[in-house]
Amino acid sequence: MQRVRRKNTASLRWVKIMDEEIIRLVVLISGSGSNLQAVLDAVRMRMLDAEVALVVSNRADAYGLKRAQKAGIETAVHELGPYKEDGSGRVAYDADLAQIVAEAAPDYVVLLGWMHILSDAFLRKFPYRVVNLHPALPGTFPGAHAIEDAWKAFQAGTIKETGLMVHLVPDERVDMGPVLAKEEVPIYPTDTLETLETRMHFAEHRLIVQTLDRLINGDE
């Protein structure tokens, strides 16, 4: 695990700014981090009453790490490879990941393109505080290729639309858990896989910020 400190994070659970309690987020990523960028932008523009305390990637070359570092956010790289090599495996990896995350004292752990199924060794440390963004509607297209799977289903004539959801991750089931928000996304006859992906990503950026805001502030 490699860690780059970009700022001194407080050990306190709450950070108080102007006598307001600020929710602490830890974001887990694996790739480009465009949804992370949407969250960082919302925090910067004060559209989201939160602080991203730490960004963790399971890939050292994930571009999302650069996004976080540019924003002055502490980052960590926690790769699975060494755990495979020494035989300690997934449970040990997740237990160590939980320790890294716990040091940042998060109120919520947010999975934004995190390509690793979390075991109970991690999830039990943050019960009902792990939030996942998945590019499919509840009960449809679990896994890493949800947009492509939906595109293929549309081409086969079995669906007319797809969508996305934000849900809690209470256990090891893949892309399942209490749904916090969902949004349908139409698929048009003129769509290519690329245009569908672009529209899905725009919807993801909006929905994750809206859902985190609801978690923090409640429904008005």
Q: Assess whether 53 and 150 both reside in one domain.
A: no
Q: Please tell me whether residues 34 and 6 are part of one structural domain.
A: yes
Q: Are residues 93 and 143 in the same domain?
A: no
Domain with 159 in it: 136-164+183-220
Q: Helix (H) and strand (E) counts for the chain? A: 7, 9
Same domain, 194 and 220: yes
Residue 193 is assigned to a structural domain of this protein: yes
Strand residue runs (E) in 112-178? 130-134, 161-168
216 located within any domain:
yes
Same domain, 149 and 198: yes
Q: Residue 78 half-sphere exposure, CB side, CA atoms within 13 Å?
A: 22
Beta bridge partners of 165: 134, 182
- What is the C-alpha separation between 192 and 208, in angstroms, rounded? 24
Enter the pTM of the model.
0.89
Listed in sequence order, the residues at least 6 apart from 203 whose beta carbon sits closer than 8 Å to its beta carbon are 163, 164, 183, 185
**How many domains does one find in the chain?**
2
116 catalytic? Reply is no
SS3 161: strand
In this structure, the answer to whether residues 153 and 121 fall within a common structural domain is no
Same domain for 122 and 26? yes
Residue 155: count of CB within 10 angstroms of its CB: 12
Asked whether residue 103 is domain-assigned, the answer is yes
> In this structure, is residue 174 part of a structural domain?
no
Average pLDDT per consecutive 10 residues, the chain (220 residues; last block may be shorter): 40 40 94 97 96 98 98 97 91 97 98 96 97 97 96 96 98 95 97 96 97 88
In percent, the amount of the chain with pLDDT more than 90 equals 86
Q: Are residues 109 and 15 in the same domain?
A: yes
CA dist., res. 36 & res. 75, Å (int) = 13
* CA atoms of 78 and 100, how far apart (whole Å): 9
pLDDT at 20: 59
In a domain? residue 58: yes
- Same-domain check for residues 117 and 31: yes
Three-state SS at 175: coil
Instruction: Please answer whether residues 110 and 212 qualify as being in contact, where contact means their C-beta atoms are separated by less than 8 angstroms.
Output: yes
Is there a single domain that holds both residue 150 and residue 85? Answer: no
At residue 12, the pLDDT reads 34
Is 7 found in the same domain as 112?
A: yes
Which pLDDT score, from 0 to 100, does residue 22 have?
87
| Residue 24's CATH number | 3.40.50.170
Assigned domain for 72 exists: yes
Digit-coded pLDDT (tens) for 52-88: 999 999 999 999 999 999 999 999 999 999 999 888 8
78, 134, 167, 205: which one is catalytic?
Answer: 134
